[in-house]
Structure 1
Amino acid sequence: MKNESRPAEAGFGRLGLCSGCSYYPDYLNSHRCTPGDACIRAHSGRQIDRFLRTNPELAQNYLNDIFWERRAIAARYAAVDHIFSLKSDADEVVRRVVATRLPVDELIGMVRDPDREVRLSVAARLPEPLLVQLINDPDYLIRATVARRLPHGQLSKLAKDPEREVRKVVASRLPPFALHMLAADPEPEVRAIVAERALPGLAVALLQDEEWWVRLAAVSNAPLEFLPPLVNDPEVEVREAAQARLAEPNML
């Protein structure tokens, strides 16, 4: 005779997690949970997530759970107005979730969070007028994110940033008329970006740069009358670029 156990019995016997669970057996029998796959009592982020994805209305019940991962997953599914208190949760993973979900006008309170990933989320979402709050962040990745989003009129505040990658972002976004602020940058990678975007007068100055790839970038923006000396440049790519530009009028 075939053994036909009921779903609730099979689930209980399989894991034992159903014992004492307030959702047993109704949720199991209605397929709102599955032992070993979707279970709020499991110490498995995957199982907790699947349970709350199916039952998001229960998420707010676990926002103060003792298990950090259960709180973090609950914060993904709970209504936003229930997660404000988790801005100062003891676990950074919980706060990372909160930083991705809070209304932008609530993010200012997290700009000094000790966790870099939290501040990265804040820097990516904070309203532009408030980004100056992160301009002196100790982590260069946050400052680089700020540099990508700052209004042009405030970019000069990062032109002297100690990190090359931040200044590269600034060089790629500054209005061309303001690029002189980075024309003498100690890093050739920054100067090359400046040369690629420079107005003619600044491009002429960068034709004399000690690094050949900066001179190469400047060739495309410098007036033709300043290019003849570059046909004798020690680097073949610079010579060829100068020769190609000087030949352009003859190709018309």
Structure 2
Amino acid sequence: MRASSEVQLEALDWQGRPLRCQDCPHEDMHAEGRCDLGTVCVADRRHKRIDNFFRRNAELAARYLDHPYFEVRVLAAKHASVFLLPALLADPEPDVRAMVARRLPASRIGPLKSDPEPDVRIAVADRLEGAALVPLLSDEDYRVRRAAVRRAPLDALIYSLHDPETEVRRDVARRVEGRTLARMAQDPDPLVRVIVAERLPEGALTPLRDDDDMRVRFAVAERAGDADLAVLADDPVPEISELARTRLLRANDSAKQ
């Protein structure tokens, strides 16, 4: 009985009021095992309990798309038919709009590209394809730009080579190729240049061989050809010079065999 009482005390609605099955319009479902106070309940304020309810009773989600508690609307939108979701494109709660962006066909979420909330625009960037992502490369929020950079066409990423946010440029460096990647060898952030050093072809690493940052030179030493290794063998950082010498010795041994 004590454990049951504790569950009852934990079962509160979104306004902090205690819940009772007797007050619920779904009381008849309890006997069928489709809801359970404290674990599977649409009237509860806890996200997991509401989600558990809709997992078992997805056919009821449509009834709750206009519920006053935003968590209920979010989870109802997660489980309801997508044909009902366009009505929520203008929902006042960003979490609801983000859920709509994740579930509606990408062709229907265009209006949310200019949503005032970054989390909604991130959800949009995670869904759009091709040229539709290009406007988000200049979004005011760097998190949106990161999401767009990870999916935008490679030829569009030239617009992001000089993004003011280092994390965005790192994402760019992980995707671009050829001359565009080589251009990023001049990036002001050493961690961007490390990524460039890890991805450029062996023969294109020379510009990074004399980099001011030891992390960049170490990345070069891991991949460079003999000519660059010969220079790095005299690097003032022992770890770099040792790596360069070791690789040169291995290359010489292999050549003799």
> TM-score scaled by structure 2?
0.82
Identity of aligned residues (%): 38
Deviation at 1:177, TM superposition (A): 3.2
Alignment of 1:12-91 (within 5 A): 15-16=19-20, 18-19=22-23, 21-24=24-27, 26-91=28-93
Q: Where does structure 2 lack aligned partners over 5 or more consecutive residues? A: 1-17
* Cα distance in 1 between the residues matched to 2:137 and 2:46: 38
Which residue among 242, 245, 249 is the counterpart of 2:244?
A: 242
After superposition, what is the alpha-carbon deviation per residue over 1:85-144, rounded to whole angstroms, capped at 9, x for unaligned?
112100112122212211122222211222222222221221233111210112212212
Aligned positions of 1:131-150 closer than 5 A: 131-150=133-152
2:191 equivalent to 1:189: yes
CA distance 1:231–1:79, shift in 2 (3 Å): same
What SS does the corresponding residue of 1:232 show, helix, strand or coil?
coil
User: Which residue of the partner structure matches residue 118 of structure 1?
Assistant: 120
CA distance in 2, matches of 1:211, 1:44: 49
In structure 2, the CA distance between the partners of 1:193 and 1:30, relative to structure 1 (3 Å rule), is closer
Report the alpha carbon displacement of residue 35 of structure 1 after superposing the two structures with TM: 3.9
Aligned AA (2:93): D
Q: For residues 145 and 169 of structure 1, what CA distance do their matches in structure 2 show?
A: 9
What one-letter code is carried by the residue in structure 1 that aligns with 2:136? Answer: L
Larger Rg: 1
Alpha-carbon spacing, 1:82–1:247, altered in 2? closer, same or farther (3 Å): same
- Number of residue pairs the alignment of both structures matches: 237
The range that moved more, 41-50 or 65-74, is 41-50
What's the CA shift for 1:39? 3.5
**TM-score of the pair, normalised by structure 1:** 0.83
Extract unaligned runs of 5+ from structure 1.
Answer: 1-13
Match of 2:232 in 1: 230
1:216 shift after superposition: 2.0
Match of 2:4 in 1: none
Letter in 1 for 2:196: V
How big is the shift at 1:200?
A: 4.4
Question: Which residue of structure 1 aligns with residue 5 of structure 2?
Answer: none
Letter in 1 for 2:104: L
Is this contact kept in 1: 2:173–2:181, CA < 8 A?
A: yes
Instruction: Give the match's secondary structure for 1:183.
Output: helix
Q: Give the corresponding residue for 2:101.
A: 99
Judged with a 3 Å threshold, the aligned counterparts in structure 2 of structure 1 residues 221 and 79 are, in CA distance, closer, same or farther, namely: same
Counterpart in the other structure of 2:219: 217
Q: Distance in 2 between matches of 1:56 and 1:73?
A: 10
Deviations 1:203-243 (A, max 9, x none): 11211111122122223444423432322211112211221
Distance 1:32 1:250, change over 3 A: closer
Distance 1:131 1:123 in 2: 7
Secondary structure of 1:227 counterpart? helix
2:137–2:148 Cα contact (<8 Å) kept: yes
Give the C-alpha shift of residue 150 in structure 1. Answer: 1.9
Q: Give the deviation of 1:36 after TM superposition.
A: 4.1
Matched with 2:11 is none
**How much has 1:157 moved relative to structure 2?**
1.4
Describe the shift of the 1:38–1:207 C-alpha distance in structure 2 as closer, same or farther (beyond 3 A): closer
Q: Which runs of 4+ in 1 moved over 6 A?
A: none
